Amino acid sequence: MQFNLVHLFKLVTRDYFKYVKYLFIFLSLVPFLILSWQFYTEQLGINPLAYLTKVTGHLVIIFLILTLLITPLKRISSYLMTKYQLKYGKRLADWNWIIKLRRIFGLYSFYYACLHLAVYVWFDQGLEWEYIYEDILERPFIMVGVISFLILLIMAITSFKVLIKKLKKKWRKIHMSIYPLSILCLIHYWWLSKTIESELILYSILTFLLLLYRILVWTHIVRIRKDDTGMEVSTRHKVPLNHKVIF
């Protein structure tokens, strides 16, 4: 049998999605594995506390950006495939598997936020709750961090498939809080920075572009695609003929 790349791609992405899923679950865990290895071999650098706090914080923002990237990526890719009627285009346009990565990335953002919080509460503040309480009140960026964590916690709890089906439209509304959340995380970072760091600018630009995409979709492009509800669970819709594809 002749080796067919597109065929293979189709197989992997559609029929063997679980392997793609496991691959991404593992890849997202790699930063944690590296950190753990550095922790046990005492390679966290000269100031381990500062390093752990910084890296876990960055991972939260990176995974939030990845989460925000999924919806535009799915829409744009399927639009391009359909528009230019590429060979196997119809099959590839059915990139619904991408949307399933959104939850994985979102949950990893929550996972790294838990680590970030644990480093602060345990290593930085030494579990002294009175001081933590004072610290939240004294330093606004800590307060912003706590609020962000609570939002992320609510989103993580409501991310079970059962709840997605149960909450339906409410679920969408709850999970739209990723937009204010991503801004809050950046405010947290801006506020604690002594000077403007290059990572800070990079994250801000990426988040800005991804939010701008949403604003443009909502304000300038009329939403006609009834088949794309943005939901993860009900993916098997028939695309009506003569529909205007808009991303």
Partner 1 sequence: MAKTLYPKVNSSEITDESIWLSRRAFIKTTLSTALISTSGSLLSKELNALKSPVLRLPKHGSLTKYKDITRYNNYYEFTSDKKLVHHYAKELKTEPWTITINGEVEKPLTFDIDKLLGMMSIEERIYSLRCVEGWSMVIPWNGFPLAQLLKMAKPTSKAKYVKFTSLLDPEVMIGQRRPILNWPYTEGLRIDEAMHPLTFLASGIYGKDILPQNGAPIRLVVPWKYGYKSLKAITHITLLEKQPKTTWVDANPDNYGFYSNVNPKVSTPMWNQRKEVKIGEVRKKRTQLYNGYGEQVAHLYKDMDLTKFY
Q: Which of 1, 5, 30, 46 binds partner 1 (CB under 8 A)?
A: 46
Amino acid, res. 52: L
Task: Write the CA distances from 173 to 1, 84, 141, 231, integer angstroms.
Answer: 49, 34, 26, 12
Instruction: Give the shortest CB-47-to-partner 1 separation in angstroms.
Output: 6
Which of 150, 196, 202, 246 binds partner 1 (CB under 8 A)? It is: 196
Helix H, strand E, coil C: the string for the chain is: CCCCHHHHHHHHHHHCHHHHHHHHHHHHHHHHHHHHHHHHCCCCCCCHHHHHHHHHHHHHHHHHHHHHHHHHHHHHHHHHHHHCCCCCHHHHHCCHHHHHHHHHHHHHHHHHHHHHHHHHHHHHCCCCHHHHHHHHHHCHHHHHHHHHHHHHHHHHHCCCHHHHHHHCHHHHHHHCCHHHHHHHHHHHHHHHCCCCCHHHHHHHHHHHHHHHHHHHHHHCCCCCCCCCCCCCCCCCCCCCCCCCCCC
Q: Is 192 in the site for partner 1 (CB under 8 A)?
A: yes
Confirm or reject binding of residue 47 to partner 1 (CB under 8 A).
Answer: yes
Task: Name the one range near partner 1 by CB under 8 A: 47-55, 84-92, 112-120, 169-177.
Answer: 47-55
Minimal distance, residue 198 CB to partner 1, in Å: 9
**Minimal distance in Å, beta carbon 158 to partner 1?**
33
218 binds partner 1 (CB under 8 A): no
Distances (CA, A) of 238 to 3, 10, 176, 233: 31, 19, 26, 15
Q: In whole angstroms, how close is the CB of 61 to partner 1 at the nearest point? A: 18
- Site for partner 1 contains 194 (CB under 8 A): yes
The binding track of 137-156 with respect to partner 1, each residue x by CB under 8 A or -, is: -xxxx---------------
Binding mask 97-136 for partner 1 (x = CB under 8 A): --------------------------xxxx----x---x-
Residue of 29, 37, 43, 45 that binds partner 1 (CB under 8 A): 45
Considering the rule CB under 8 A, would residue 50 count as an interface residue with partner 1?
yes
As measured in angstroms, the least distance from the Cβ of 43 to partner 1 is 12
| The residue type at 201 | I
> Which one among 22, 37, 176, 197 touches partner 1, defined by CB under 8 A?
197
Select from 55-63, 92-100, 195-203, 226-234 the region that touches partner 1 (CB under 8 A).
195-203
Give residues in contact with partner 1 (CB under 8 A). Answer: 45-50, 123-126, 131, 135, 138-141, 191-192, 194-197
